[in-house]
Structure 1
Amino acid sequence: MRLACKSLIWYPKRAYEAGGYSAQPATMQELYGIADQIKAGGITPWSDGWNADQATGWVGTDWIEEFMLRVHGPDVYDDWIYHRIPFNSPEVVEVFDILGELLKTEGNVLGGPTTILNTPFSEAPLPLFEDPARAMFVRQGNFVTGFLPEDILANMDEELGVFAMPAWEGGFEGQPILGGGDLAALFTLNDDSVALMKFLTAAEFGAEWAQAGGWLSPHRTFDPSHYADETTRRVADIAANAEVFRYDGSDVMPNAVGGGSFWTGMIDWLNDSKTAQQVCDEIEAGWPQ
């Protein structure tokens, strides 16, 4: 009954356009090239934050899921999240290494791994809107707009830019989107409860929520004019036109993994206390039988 679109790259529109950077990279490799231009101009390309108290590490799992979809495609992604292939398969370890090149390369992310782990995920976008901007990119779901400064929210279409995290050159050729959703569950079967479920799952449901902001319909046929701003309409369009949409992998995995060893493993990997192979081996060994 509610959609979360995660595969989004956010940028500070005024500073970004002033720098002359492209907002339509066709591949991640093209995006890396733009990041190199940003670095050459004396600005750190990325800001990132994984801190979420007991849930620290979930942002890292999203990064791995994004690259699994792009590098190896939805079929391998499905096999991985449903454990039809082991968690420590070579494809997964490869994606850890690819992500490491992005997050661990000096100068790519503000403050490096230590700052990433210590920064609340909700604060990761803030350096983009300082004067001057200290970073240009944040990868995060549509819900991150709820944590932006009030002056940015009040003028979001002019201040905030967004595009879909692009495909991986040599990987899956279409545009994949990672996301999540809020589910409505029926516990008591009667005429009233069935009517309520039909209401909640109807394509036209949520107009008032959409106008209030911070809500996306899971229906492609939902009238986008109900959304309060062009930025949200852009996000809804990105989700609706994806060639492939996949549910957040860690949310699908058993909780001992998706809400446990996968989270802590990402922390161990990012701070270099364990290698990608070690983390993947330990997660696989602890997968519930």
Structure 2
Amino acid sequence: MRFKKASALVTLATAVTLLAAGCSSSKNNTPSTGGSSSSTDNSGAQPASKIKPVTMTGDCAAYGKYGKYSGATVTMYASITDPEGGYLQQSWKQFETCTGITIQYTGDKEFETAIKTKVEGGNAPDIAIIPQPGLLQTFASAGKLKPASQAVTDEAKANWVKDWISYGSFDGVFFGAPMGANLKSLVWYSPKMFAKAGYSIPKTWDEMVALSDKIAATGQKPWCAGIESGTATGWTATDWMEEVMLRMYGPDVYDQWVQHKIPFNDQKVQDVLAAVGKIWKNPKYVNAGIGDVQSIATTAFAKAGLPIEKQKCWLHQQANFYGANWDKGYTIGPKSTDDIYAFYEPPMNTNFGNPIEGGGEFVGAFTDTAQVEAVQLYLASGEWATSRAKIHPGWISANQKVDKTVFTDPVDALSVGILTDPKATFRFDGSDAMPSAVGAGSFWSEMTKWIQGQSDKATLDNIEKSWPAS
């Protein structure tokens, strides 16, 4: 699935808020947002495995560790609809054949709201593919979600870096292994244009700004951008804030900001907005091939990078899934003759390693049978991730054990390499983890007003005022 934040976040954030209001627990009922705030020291907290491995032969030899289940059915519910849902179901066909488990899959565009009704009504699926850690942790805090077995936990820890594991954990207990992923930390460009001009890929933020100045000195605008996205207009601007916060002040401050442990108009947040403004509000930098600074507010995010195709724009920051928006007829790749490619959005501070922002999915279970555990264990494996990638172009994973040779699309391969870099510091999309009134509300709308001319102070003060009291 190519993750398109604008299409689902309003309903998702609403579902998280409703769940938090409707569920109760003897534990803290406020979901953790992952990262440094979620303890992953769950030694001894995970239940023992119910799986009884068997010996299998031939094409099924590798599946004996999952056990054999005659006539068993596992229900699975997710937001992933066709055609992506069809790829997903193909990815576990051999597993079904060998184990005897039938995965009864339902993809629903209304998942984010419907799953709350199902769970509260006692009609939860065996497994849900949850596209946001806050939602997983809300179910966990309410005692609705089953802790992952020790076997699933060990498999996930072996295959994913600790930052990802933290987002599938709550209160020191691991609940759901990551699944798919997307990478926000990319800047798209034209290798052909760079080669002709003699430009090199910037390795630091300062080098990227210096390159922007060099391009601007020729009379050209280096950057193109757009935030129009219907009712979700403004979300691409929030991504810029998140990327810069992570690079300027690091993961700990990023987590404090997302959790409102520092106010939205804190000096650090002011610094971040000012740094974004040096690019986005610079009339010499934007909006290449489109218009002036304010045209960013009315340019559809799906079209914002297209001036690169016509060699009218040099740089466009957007996630790996933006690749679906390029017109046919343009070559994608790193060669000097290629039309379009991307590079890692460079760091600002070497103390924070290689910061990356993105999103993903998590596999949570509402029942704890052996066959459900077997499905969870398989979906946490590198074998499954490789199977999915082989049949689904455009799908990527941060699973360390995935066979990277199966990613034939150059940007997919680049993204997987960045996501699985052991030196990378990963953080989930910040606005996804904020309360809906902010993350899918005032943060979007106030950033739109900011592009249209509103001051930095008014923008941040208004978002701070909108933060729910509890």
Please tell me whether residue 36 in structure 1 is matched to residue 213 in structure 2: yes
Please tell me whether residue 134 in structure 1 is matched to residue 312 in structure 2: yes
Which amino acid in the other structure matches residue 245 of structure 1?
A: F
Aligned partner of 1:262 in structure 2 is: 443
Aligned partner of 1:8 in structure 2 is: 186
Alignment RMSD: 1.7
Q: Are the equivalent residues in 2 in contact too, given 1:70–1:172 (CA < 8 A)?
A: no
Aligned partner of 1:195 in structure 2 is: 374
Which amino acid in the other structure matches residue 432 of structure 2?
A: D
Which amino acid in the other structure matches residue 415 of structure 2?
A: V
Name the count of aligned residue pairs: 282
CA distance in 2, matches of 1:221, 1:77: 28
For structure 1, the 5+ residue unaligned runs are: none
Please tell me whether residue 247 in structure 1 is matched to residue 421 in structure 2: no
1:172 CA drift (Å): 4.3
Aligned partner of 1:73 in structure 2 is: 250
Q: Are the equivalent residues in 2 in contact too, given 1:210–1:216 (CA < 8 A)?
A: yes
Deviates more, 1:208-217 or 1:223-232: 208-217
Q: Deviations over 1:246-281 (max 9, x none)?
A: 111001111111111111111111111x32222222
1:85 CA drift (Å): 1.3
1:114 CA drift (Å): 2.1
SS of the residue 2:365 aligns to: coil
CA distance in 2, matches of 1:267, 1:231: 29
Please tell me whether residue 207 in structure 1 is matched to residue 383 in structure 2: no
SS of the residue 1:135 aligns to: coil
CA distance in 2, matches of 1:190, 1:217: 27
Aligned partner of 1:175 in structure 2 is: 354
Q: Are the equivalent residues in 1 in contact too, given 2:282–2:293 (CA < 8 A)?
A: no
1:68 CA drift (Å): 0.5
Q: Deviations over 1:55-104 (max 9, x none)?
A: 00110000001110111111111111011111111100111111111111
Q: Deviations over 1:100-137 (max 9, x none)?
A: 1111111201223322111111111210011xx11011
Please tell me whether residue 112 in structure 1 is matched to residue 292 in structure 2: yes
1:277 is matched with which residue: 438, 444, 457? 457
Q: Are the equivalent residues in 2 in contact too, given 1:104–1:112 (CA < 8 A)?
A: no
Aligned partner of 1:161 in structure 2 is: 341
CA distance in 2, matches of 1:188, 1:65: 36
SS of the residue 2:314 aligns to: strand
- Percent identity over the alignment? 35
SS of the residue 2:402 aligns to: coil
CA distance in 1, matches of 2:456, 2:371: 51
Deviates more, 1:279-288 or 1:118-127: 279-288
CA distance in 2, matches of 1:216, 1:161: 17
1:40 CA drift (Å): 2.7
1:161 CA drift (Å): 2.2
CA distance in 2, matches of 1:208, 1:151: 29
CA distance in 1, matches of 2:403, 2:410: 13
Please tell me whether residue 27 in structure 1 is matched to residue 208 in structure 2: no
CA distance in 2, matches of 1:60, 1:6: 12
In structure 2, relative to structure 1, the CA distance for the partners of 1:201 and 1:188 (3 Å cut) is same
SS of the residue 1:109 aligns to: coil
Q: Deviations over 1:133-192 (max 9, x none)?
A: 11011101100001111222xx322332221111115x7442211111123332344333
Deviates more, 1:11-20 or 1:56-65: 11-20
CA distance in 2, matches of 1:264, 1:191: 47
Which amino acid in the other structure matches residue 361 of structure 2?
A: D
SS of the residue 1:163 aligns to: strand
Which structure: greater helix fraction?
1
Please tell me whether residue 98 in structure 1 is matched to residue 252 in structure 2: no
CA distance in 2, matches of 1:43, 1:16: 14
Which amino acid in the other structure matches residue 203 of structure 1?
A: G
Deviates more, 1:213-222 or 1:245-254: 213-222
Greater RCO structure (CA 8 Å; 6+ sep): 1
SS of the residue 1:151 aligns to: coil
TM norm structure 2: 0.57
